[in-house]
Amino acid sequence: MDEHISKMWSYVLLVAMMVVGVYVYLIMFDRTLENNIVDKTAKFVNECETTGMISTSNYNRFTKDIYEMGNYSIELEYNSIKSYPKEDANGNVIGFFRDYYTYNNKQILDAMFTETENYDYTMKTGDILTAKVRREGTTKVHLFRALFNLDLSETIIVNYSGTIGNNTVR
């Protein structure tokens, strides 16, 4: 009887080790994919910082690279700095105050891609561009996490921002 129990426990242990091994492999694969997405997003934003624009070719290459890795959504946000004069009661300019106007993903893409032509999206020095990549749906790692009731709320892969520099394209 003891022999059957020990044999049963050895099978249970073997299956548990296989499940843990597959889970660890999937986590490593998922992290590698996420690191690749972070790198591609940083490269995209840094190129936009340097050139002062979101070129259609750069954007198309970036989205193609991200979408080839799985089911992800990409959101862009552009904060344009605006300066306004601050006046005293007599109407004299005594300083300036700054404010940001935010352009969302739809506004940016509508300006870049019209029905008839594609345009580069130009930005000004000091403005801020943010690219956010989210995971849509579940991955195999999420399925394992669901089996063990672990947190499944992790959906944002990267939220990367950069300030547009004083650079010109030659």
The pLDDT tens digits for 51-82 are: 999 999 999 999 999 999 888 899 999 999 88
On average, the pLDDT of the chain sits at 85
Is 69 inside any structural domain? yes
Is 86 inside any structural domain? yes
Range of the domain at 96: 2-163
Examine the pLDDT at 17 and tell me if it is beyond 80: yes
Is 168 inside any structural domain? no
Q: Report yes or no: 144 and 75 within 8 Å, Cβ to Cβ.
A: no
| Interval 90-111: pLDDT, tens | 888 888 888 889 999 999 999 9
Helices in 68-139 by DSSP H: which ranges?
A: 105-112
pLDDT value at residue 10: 84
Look up the pTM and report it. Answer: 0.76
pLDDT value at residue 159: 92
CB atoms within 10 A of CB 145: 18
Is 169 inside any structural domain? no
